[in-house]
Amino acid sequence: MSVVLSITNIGIRFATNDATAPPPAVDGVTIQVNRGEIFGIVGESGSGKSTLANAVMGLLPANAAVTGSIRVNGREVVGLSEDELRRIRGAEVSMIFQDASASLDPTWPVGDQIAETVRAHRTISRRDAKARAIELMTEVGISDAASRYGSVPHRFSGGMRQRIVIAAALANNPGLLIADEPTTALDVTIQAQVLQLIDRLRREHGTTVVLITHDLGVVSQVCDRVAVMHGGRLLEVASTRDLFARPSHPYTRALLAANPAGAPRRSRLPVIPAEWSVESLQQSERLRTGQLPPVEEATHD
């Protein structure tokens, strides 16, 4: 099995003016993502998911310091120049950002925005770029794409805008797609449709997908494997089936126990009370005595 993304012992700190340095946003994370899989990264808000994704894209702000290694298709990206990164971004690895529809320009026809992305990485005529954009819009399920090419984003529903963002991300057939909370803003039905689209793209194009979410329901719907993050650290990596059936980390067990149905469609990660931090969990009386909340068996294979 070939490894598309190899993250090794990554640490990311943000410099601040505070007298006491904040803890690292990402701390010693090691993950390998295989070609063609949908790999979930799940964790509550602030656990470091977006920071990790931005590091893969080389898009961290200047106050971020990165240690460790990130290889995309075998090539180290930590320390690459902006020029080199730009060549990889969009072409080899592409990202759908959290709050993606805000990344569309509201004043500009959506088709042109996709065509522009196509032209960013290839020498291609405007006419061919337009044809490719229409093809991409059709591919992501926008019916009558040719006639909707010229519409501005607000003419589309939230779900359709998300499809347009996905089309732009796919413009140059990236082997690796990182989707950061791609369905968070959508209602349940539309969310399921967008996840099905991502799954279909993976099957038809062999695209490798890293799907970032705080929602266990999303994980259960499409991910092959999943990494659980908390406080910048990686707690466990497991197949989705094993994670729900036999979570190995107490934090994961607590998450699942807080969602007794295992992973109902809309099981947002609960915010774990502070006294349930990983450290305290590990030390807690409950843990030593094996009295963690009961873990429900998964019922949703």
Ligand X SMILES: Nc1ncnc2c1ncn2[C@@H]1O[C@H](COP(=O)(O)OP(=O)(O)O)[C@@H](O)[C@H]1O
* Residue 46 contact among Mg ion, ligand X, none, beta carbon within 5 to 8 Å by kind: ligand X
From residue 27 to residue 66, the character string flagging contacts with Mg ion as x (rule: CB under 5 A) and all else as - is ----------------------xx----------------
**Which of residues 49 and 230 has its CB atom nearest to Mg ion in the complex?**
49
Min CB(230)–ligand X separation in Å: 9
**Contact status, residue 237 vs residue 248, Cβ threshold 8 Å:** no
The residue among 16 and 280 lying less far from ligand X, judged by its C-beta, is 16
Taking Cα atoms as reference points, which of 101, 108, 58, 49 lies closest to residue 83?
Answer: 58
DSSP for 255-280?
Answer: HHHTSTTSS-TT-BPPPPPGGG-HHH
Place of tokens 């926008």: 142
Sheet arrangement for strand 225-230 = 93-96, 176-180, 208-213, 38-42, 225-230, 233-239
DSSP tally for the chain: helices H, then strands E: 12, 10
Shortest distance, CB of residue 15 to ligand X, whole angstroms?
Answer: 8
Q: Which residues pair with 177 in a beta bridge?
A: 94, 209
Binding mask 96-115 for Mg ion (x = CB under 5 A): --x-----------------
Tell me how far, at minimum, the Cβ of 233 lies from ligand X, in Å. 11
Determine, following the binding rule CB under 6 A, whether residue 117 of this chain makes contact with ligand X. no
Give the integer Cα–Cα distance in Å for 90 and 82.
Answer: 14
Print the binding letters for residues 248-277 with ligand X: x by CB under 6 A, - otherwise: ------------------------------
Whichever of 50 and 208 has its CB closer to Mg ion, that residue is 50
Residue 108 C-beta: closest distance to Mg ion, Å: 26
CB 168 within 8 A of CB 117: yes
- Is the CB of 18 or the CB of 285 nearer to ligand X? 18
Nearer Cβ to Mg ion, position 139 or 181? 181
Closest Cα to residue 159, out of 136, 176, 172, 140? 140
Q: Which is nearer to ligand X, 47 or 221 (CB)?
A: 47
Ranges of H-type helices in the chain: 49-57, 82-88, 110-121, 126-139, 145-148, 158-169, 188-205, 216-222, 240-245, 250-257, 278-283, 285-288
State which residue, 67 or 173, has the beta carbon closest to ligand X: 67
* Residues in 22-81 that interact with ligand X by CB under 6 A: 25, 43, 45-51, 61, 63
Classify residue 61 by burial, with Cβ atoms within 10 Å: 0-12, 13-18, 19+. Answer: exposed
By CB under 6 A, name the one of 8, 14, 138, 151 that touches ligand X.
14
Least Cβ distance, residue 180 to Mg ion (angstroms): 6
Binding site for ligand X (CB under 6 A): 14, 25, 43, 45-51, 61, 63
